[in-house]
């Protein structure tokens, strides 16, 4: 009798939770995405600060897995709200490779070019270039593939732009929805500022970290959020293209160490410059619409 009562209470509690999640899908999504990723970041942080045994392999595994927090949160929410039909549409978007050639050109060549321009405008950065190593192109291509599947893009984009953005834009508009997502995207990365991923660890100068590095990172991610929304709205929400874009940005990380100037290797300033200028141009040219097309309207930009 008691067991039956507990089972009923458990079922009722589960039903109540699902009701809240359906009523507040964006809140539920972000809470889950943060919780999953932040909890999985704990072993990485403790390892790098010497509280747990410091193993590069363990760090890499947990850092990779934690990046799939948004993916898992989106999967749970889509299954809860839209069922198998919703999951099928989501998967199709991840496999949607059809897009204009100009978007592939922008993502695969334009992104590295913008990053290089960001470097060249920093005093002394270009002079610090050490030259390409043998087989650099092969290393770059292999790294691109590995990062595409395991370096964050596949783990993040199906959540940020596959679940959150399509719900934020109709409610808040393209610009406000993008800026809100950008702030939450920055917040999701906060545990990284206790690890080497954001140049932190034992001996870190936290004053410099949070008065210089974090503001630069914040502006960089906000500019990236604008570019991501713009690409999404012009490729019919193709998650494949957004994952590719994210991978192109992250893969430039193997080029960055070839420049030894402190302004390049100790901050994200060059990336902030690389994306801030085109983001402002996109906002101006699209009148802040970022190519968003509500039902019954024509796209702008």
Question: pLDDT tens track of the chain, all 301 residues?
Answer: 555 554 545 555 568 888 899 999 999 999 999 999 999 999 999 988 888 887 788 788 898 999 999 999 999 999 999 999 999 999 999 999 999 999 999 999 999 999 999 999 999 999 999 998 889 999 999 999 999 998 799 999 999 999 999 999 999 999 999 999 999 999 999 999 999 888 888 888 888 888 999 999 999 999 999 999 999 999 999 999 999 999 999 999 999 999 999 999 999 999 999 999 999 999 999 999 999 988 655 444 4
Q: Is the dihedral of CA 70, 71, 76, 77 positive or negative?
A: positive
d(CA 33, CA 71) in angstroms, rounded, equals: 8
Q: Are 46 and 194 in contact (CB under 8 A)?
A: no
Q: pTM for the full model?
A: 0.92
d(CA 251, CA 136) in angstroms, rounded, equals: 12
The closest alpha carbon to 218, from 154, 257, 271, belongs to: 271
3-state secondary structure of 129: strand
Q: What is the pLDDT of residue 298?
A: 44
What phi and psi, each to the nearest 5 degrees, are found at residue 129? -60, 130
Q: What is the pLDDT of residue 13?
A: 57
Q: What is the pLDDT of residue 107?
A: 98
Residue for token pair 């008691």: 2
d(CA 247, CA 113) in angstroms, rounded, equals: 15
Count of alpha carbons within 13 angstroms of residue 58, beta-carbon side: 13
d(CA 178, CA 282) in angstroms, rounded, equals: 13
d(CA 13, CA 246) in angstroms, rounded, equals: 39
Under DSSP, the state recorded for 15 is H
């Amino acid at each position: 009798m008691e067991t039956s009562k507990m089972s009923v209470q458990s079922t009722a509690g589960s039903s109540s939770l699902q009701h809240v999640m359906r009523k507040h899908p964006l809140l539920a999504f972000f809470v889950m995405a943060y919780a999953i990723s932040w909890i999985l970041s704990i072993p990485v942080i403790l390892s790098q600060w010497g509280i747990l045994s410091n193993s590069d392999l363990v760090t890499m595994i947990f850092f990779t897995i934690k990046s799939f927090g948004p993916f898992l949160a989106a999967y749970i929410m889509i299954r809860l709200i839209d069922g198998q039909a919703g999951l099928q549409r989501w998967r199709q978007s991840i496999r949607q490779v059809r897009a204009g050639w100009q978007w592939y050109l922008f993502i695969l060549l334009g992104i590295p070019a913008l990053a290089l321009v960001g470097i060249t405008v920093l005093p002394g950065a270009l002079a610090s270039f050490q030259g390409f190593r043998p087989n650099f192109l092969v290393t770059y291509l292999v790294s691109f593939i590995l990062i595409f599947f395991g370096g964050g893009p596949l783990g993040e984009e199906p959540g940020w732009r596959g679940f959150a953005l399509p719900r934020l834009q109709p409610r808040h508009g393209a610009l406000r929805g993008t800026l809100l997502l950008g702030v939450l995207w920055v917040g999701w990365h906060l545990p990284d500022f206790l690890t080497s991923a954001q140049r932190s660890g034992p001996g870190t100068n936290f004053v410099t970290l949070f008065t210089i590095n974090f503001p630069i990172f914040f502006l960089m991610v906000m500019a990236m959020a604008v570019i991501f929304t713009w690409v999404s709205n012009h490729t019919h929400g193709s998650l494949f293209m957004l994952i590719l874009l994210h991978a192109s940005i992250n893969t430039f990380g193997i080029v960055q160490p070839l420049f030894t100037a402190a302004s390049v290797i100790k901050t994200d300033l060059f990336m902030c410059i690389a994306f801030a200028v085109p983001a402002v141009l996109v906002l101006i040219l699209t009148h802040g619409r970022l190519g968003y097309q509500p039902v019954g309207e024509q796209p702008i930009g």
